[in-house]
Structures are given as C-alpha cells and as structure tokens.
C-alpha cells in the first residue's frame, strides 16, 4: 500500500445472541467459532500482507487479560486501550484516533470489528487498497457488503452517486428492516449491508466528530488526558469516560457528515451475529447439519449441534440449534435465535452466574474450572502457567486444601514458603495470608477444595498482585 495504515480493532462487544458460548466475561470475539483461532486473532491475522503499524485494540477492562494473552500467542504487541464502561463505537474510535495522533502524524485509521468473519481475505485487502484514495481525499469511507439474501439482522446503506469508479456517495443509512423491506432492498441492488468497518484519516474523523458530536470528543480528550499506563494497557480516566454520551459512529457522524463514501465489499462477510449465521457460514454434512464435538445425529437435518462437554444425540428433528456447555444447554429453533439475547437478559436480571461466566474462568495467571459445589464446599481444578503467580491474598470465610496433580507449586503461607509437588497437598486456614506460584517450566495443575460459610469470588483481599488487579 502507498500509505501505512493504523488498524483499530474494536473488541468491546458482549455477543449475547451467542449464549451460552458467548458470555459477559468471555464474549464471542475471544472464542474460536470458525477454526482454532479466536475471532480477535483472525481479525489481527487478516492484516497480514498490508503495510501497517501495530494495531490499536479497544476492549472493556474486564477482558484485558483475555485480549493480551490471545495477542501474545500471535507474538503481537499492540496498544490496548481499556474502556472502564461501554460507550459504543463513536467514543471508542475517538479514543483510538486521539491515541494514534500521539504516535504518528495523522495516520490513516482502518477501523475493524474483532468479531467478524471474512472468508476471502485477499479481496478484503484489495477493497481496502481501493478505498485508500477516497480516504486520502478527506472522505470518511465505510464498507458496504454486497447482500446475498434478504437479511433482517443487519442495517443497510443505500448507495448514491458514483465517485469516478472508486466508490459511491452514501445516500442514506437505514435501520434493520422487516422481511418485506429487506427483500425490496436486495432486489433493487442499491442497498448494501452495513459492515461497521471504516477507513479515514484520524484528523478527519475528529473534525467531523467536533462538528456533529463535540461532547463526545471533549469527554474522550479528558479521559485520555487522565489515562494511565498499566502493564501493557492504557487505562483512560473512568469518571470522564463515564460522562461521555453513548452513541454509535453511524448516529454521531456518518449519518450527518457530507463526506461519507462507500466502497462495496464482496468477500464472504458475516458478523456471526446469531447461531443461524454461524450455521450459514459453516461446512455442512449431507443432511445440511453442522455438527461439532461428540454428536450422534439420526434423522436430523438443517441443524447446528455444538457438543462441548458430553455426548449429544438428536433424533427426528430439523431446523434446531443445540448448544451444550459444561453448565448450560440451549435448544432453540433456528428462526428464533435472534431472541437468544432475551435469555441472556433474564439471566443477568436474576444475577445468575451462567449469564456472566463459564464454569471455566480465565485469569492472567491461568484458568480455573469449578467442577463441583454444595453446602459449605466448592471444588476447583486450577491450572497455573509456568512462571505465573496468583496474588498474595487472604479470605475471611473459607479455608482451602490444595492437592497438586502435576507440576510443582511454590506455596507461601504467612512468612513461610515451601514447595508442594505431585501427589502432595497443603492446607490454608481461614484468615491466613497466602500465595501460590508456579516456579517450573510446565503448567501446574492442582485440585482446590474450599470449605466455609461463604465461597464467593469477592471474598478475596489482595495485598500484592503482579497483574495490577485491585
């Protein structure tokens, strides 16, 4: 490319329509839905072949270690901006633009979502190349996807006048239509799916944001000025950003600006916004089924089955979605999967853990799996990465027994430190300051048995933590 790009990858969504795989603390952009890579990793690797600066990743602070670990696996070291609260895409891109201008002189921002599928990546890179002259001329370019069917789950862009073969004016943006309207849009060939991807110079976006939504820009400038670097992360000012209006880039800028342009995209795009969308883009068997995991399907057709934890058998069904996880099972008709978000909302309202987290919970030091619990006890399988250490902490209400299954643990209890190896155990009394570390070169695996009157994760008093947690 003739000009280096600064990719901006927005990774702050919640993906509630893909529950029970996607959850509040582990949403779909961090999940391997198509292949062994997460959606975020696929988005970063899609940039291969382009001349670009290190990407800027924007995510919620509660996902920071997920993002950092997945980028570490790719041997990438991008800037990661942490949002203390979600404020939609217009503020997120404003933070990225302001931060990018601190790194270099008016970079070209390629704004991407972390949770989209693009099957023909070379054509995507060609479309970005084709859009570059428009962006260099001061246009705010959006990418309109050539529709393959009348989709009611996407917004649409109506094309306007041709821009000398480089793209089109934007006639208007329209909300998600009903089925009849969507069919008219597709038949007209004037409407494109709104991909939510953009290309523009940082200064031009900020100019238009100042013109049409100055309160957003002001709040973001203040939040960035109050920001602090924490390990690999940039934390923006919490109070200033919380005061920022919650608005999308479409509402705040693109629907108002006179500089909007659209470049068409025909690259096998999907936002994987529902289980039926995942079924659409996945390889199918002779009966049109998508089967993943340990599945027996008899007299089954047009069905998606994801078996994560056990054998799942189907018999005499069609047009279903069956998603099995360690702690929840979803069974839905494919035509109703857009409403899965209602289930997620009810779980959140009831404050049930199945809405927020999986049985397996990832931490910067590793992962734990809550394998059993009952009256006054809980059992976890804990894996600690080589060289990692849990915080120095204590609990008011629970004691802990640790049994090492593999590897070696360095245990600190009070002022004493000692090693615990395979088939050995140790005991941490209630109220005792303690720490757990893996000094070895292989993962440390242990079983933890908690006992006490209260076993919640908020019964942790941290005295020291290498990962900057409170």
pLDDT of 217:
97
On whether both 303 and 376 belong to a single domain, the answer is no
In a domain, 302, yes or no: yes
On whether both 377 and 311 belong to a single domain, the answer is no
Domain closes at, from 225, 241, 270 = 270
CA distance 135 to 142: 10
Domain closes at, from 270, 305, 322 = 270
Question: Which has the higher per-residue pLDDT, 444 or 16?
Answer: 444
Digit-coded pLDDT (tens) for 51-82: 999 999 999 999 998 999 999 999 888 899 99
Q: What is the CATH number of the domain that holds 456?
A: 2.60.120.10
Q: Is 349 helix (H, G, I), strand (E, B) or coil?
A: helix
Q: Is 136 helix (H, G, I), strand (E, B) or coil?
A: helix
On whether both 26 and 92 belong to a single domain, the answer is yes
Rounded to 10 degrees, the C-alpha dihedral 380/24/342/284 comes to: -80
In a domain, 469, yes or no: no
Quick one: which H or E segment has residue 42? Answer: helix 39-45
- Residues paired with 168 in a beta bridge: 162, 262
Could you give the angle at the alpha carbon of 288 between the alpha carbons of 176 and 21, nearest 5°? 60
DSSP 217-234: HHHHHHHHHT-EEETTEE
On whether both 225 and 344 belong to a single domain, the answer is no
In a domain, 354, yes or no: no
On whether both 341 and 434 belong to a single domain, the answer is no
Nearest Cα residue to 207 out of 272, 139, 126, 111: 139
pLDDT of 15:
82
pLDDT band at 153 (very low <50, low <70, confident <90, very high): confident
**Total residue length of the chain:** 470
Domain closes at, from 297, 330, 349 = 349
Q: What is the DSSP letter of 189?
A: T
On whether both 409 and 454 belong to a single domain, the answer is yes
CA distance 297 to 290: 10
The mean pLDDT value of the chain amounts to 94
In terms of DSSP bridges, do strands 233-235 and 228-230 run parallel, antiparallel, or are they unpaired?
A: antiparallel
Nearest Cα residue to 96 out of 469, 341, 87, 271: 87
Two tokens at 341? 């978000």
Residue 361 has pLDDT above 70, yes or no: yes
| Mean pLDDT computed over 239-258 | 95
Q: Which domain holds residue 307?
A: 275-349
Residue 269 has pLDDT above 90, yes or no: yes
Helix extents (H) in 179-313? 179-188, 202-212, 214-225, 238-242, 249, 275-281
pLDDT band at 172 (very low <50, low <70, confident <90, very high): very high
Could you give the angle at the alpha carbon of 148 between the alpha carbons of 145 and 153, nearest 5°? 75
In a domain, 470, yes or no: no
On whether both 292 and 385 belong to a single domain, the answer is no
Digit-coded pLDDT (tens) for 97-115: 999 999 888 999 999 999 9
Phi, psi for residue 53 in degrees, rounded to 5: -75, 170
pLDDT band at 2 (very low <50, low <70, confident <90, very high): very low
On whether both 265 and 291 belong to a single domain, the answer is no
Number of structural domains the chain divides into: 3
On whether both 324 and 377 belong to a single domain, the answer is no
On whether both 283 and 335 belong to a single domain, the answer is yes
Instruction: Please enumerate in sequence order all residues whose Cβ is within 8 A of that of 120, keeping only pairs 6 or more positions apart, or say none.
Output: 266, 267, 268
Residue 264 has pLDDT above 90, yes or no: yes
On whether both 161 and 239 belong to a single domain, the answer is yes
User: Tokens 């209602």 identify what position?
Assistant: 342
pLDDT of 3:
58
Residue 340 has pLDDT above 80, yes or no: yes
Nearest Cα residue to 95 out of 260, 230, 222: 222
On whether both 111 and 199 belong to a single domain, the answer is yes
Q: What is the CATH number of the domain that holds 88?
A: 3.90.550.10
pLDDT of 95:
97
Digit-coded pLDDT (tens) for 178-202: 999 999 999 999 999 999 999 999 9
Under 8 Å between Cβ of 411 and 434: yes
Share of the chain above pLDDT 70, in %: 99
The backbone region for 272, taken as left when phi is positive above 0, alpha when psi lies in -120 to 50, beta otherwise, is: left
Rounded to 10 degrees, the C-alpha dihedral 449/452/458/463 comes to: -80
Full strand arrangement of the beta sheet holding 434-437 = 416-420, 409-413, 434-437, 392-394, 461-464
């Amino acid at each position: 490319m003739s000009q280096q790009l600064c990719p901006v990858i927005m990774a702050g969504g919640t993906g509630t329509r893909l529950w029970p795989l996607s959850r509040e603390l582990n949403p779909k952009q961090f999940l391997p839905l198509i292949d062994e890579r997460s959606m975020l990793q696929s988005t970063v690797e899609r940039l291969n072949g382009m001349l670009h600066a290190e990407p800027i990743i924007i995510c919620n602070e509660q996902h920071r270690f997920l993002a950092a670990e997945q980028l570490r696996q790719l041997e990438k070291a991008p800037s990661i901006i942490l949002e203390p609260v979600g404020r939609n895409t217009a503020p997120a891109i404003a933070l990225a633009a302001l931060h990018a201008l601190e790194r270099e002189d008016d970079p070209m921002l390629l704004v991407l979502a972390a949770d989209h599928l693009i099957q023909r990546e070379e054509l995507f890179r060609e479309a970005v190349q084709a859009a570059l002259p428009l962006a260099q001329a001061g246009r705010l370019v959006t990418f309109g996807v050539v529709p393959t069917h009348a989709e009611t789950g996407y917004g649409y862009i109506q094309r306007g006048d041709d821009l000398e073969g480089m793209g089109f004016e934007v006639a208007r943006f329209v909300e998600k239509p009903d089925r009849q309207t969507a069919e008219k849009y597709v038949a007209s060939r004037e409407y494109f799916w709104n991909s939510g991807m953009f290309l523009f110079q940082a200064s031009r976006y900020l100019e238009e944001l100042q013109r049409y939504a100055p309160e957003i820009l002001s709040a973001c400038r203040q939040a960035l000025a109050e920001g602090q670097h924490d390990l690999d992360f940039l934390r923006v000012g919490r109070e200033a950003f919380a005061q920022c209006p919650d608005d999308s880039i479409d509402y705040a800028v693109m629907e108002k600006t006179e500089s909007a342009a659209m470049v068409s995209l025909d690259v096998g795009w999907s936002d994987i916004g529902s289980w039926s969308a995942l079924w659409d883009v996945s390889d199918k068997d002779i009966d049109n089924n998508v089967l993943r995991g340990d599945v027996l399907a008899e007299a089954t057709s047009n069905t998606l089955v994801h078996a994560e934890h056990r054998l799942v058998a189907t018999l005499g069904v069609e047009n279903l979605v069956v998603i099995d996880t360690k702690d929840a099972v979803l069974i839905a008709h494919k035509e109703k999967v857009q409403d899965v978000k209602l289930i997620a909302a009810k779980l959140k309202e009831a404050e049930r853990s199945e809405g927020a987290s999986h049985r397996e919970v990832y931490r910067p030091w590793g992962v734990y799996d809550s394998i059993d619990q009952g009256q006054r006890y809980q059992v976890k399988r804990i894996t600690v990465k080589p060289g990692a250490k849990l915080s120095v902490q204590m609990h008011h209400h629970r004691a802990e027994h640790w049994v090492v299954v593999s590897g070696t643990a360095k245990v600190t209890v009070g002022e004493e430190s000692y090693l615990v190896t395979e088939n050995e155990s140790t005991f941490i009394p209630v109220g005792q300051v303690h720490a757990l570390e893996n000094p070895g070169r292989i993962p440390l695996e242990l079983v933890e048995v908690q006992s006490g009157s209260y076993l919640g994760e908020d019964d942790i008093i941290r005295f020291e933590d290498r990962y900057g947690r409170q």
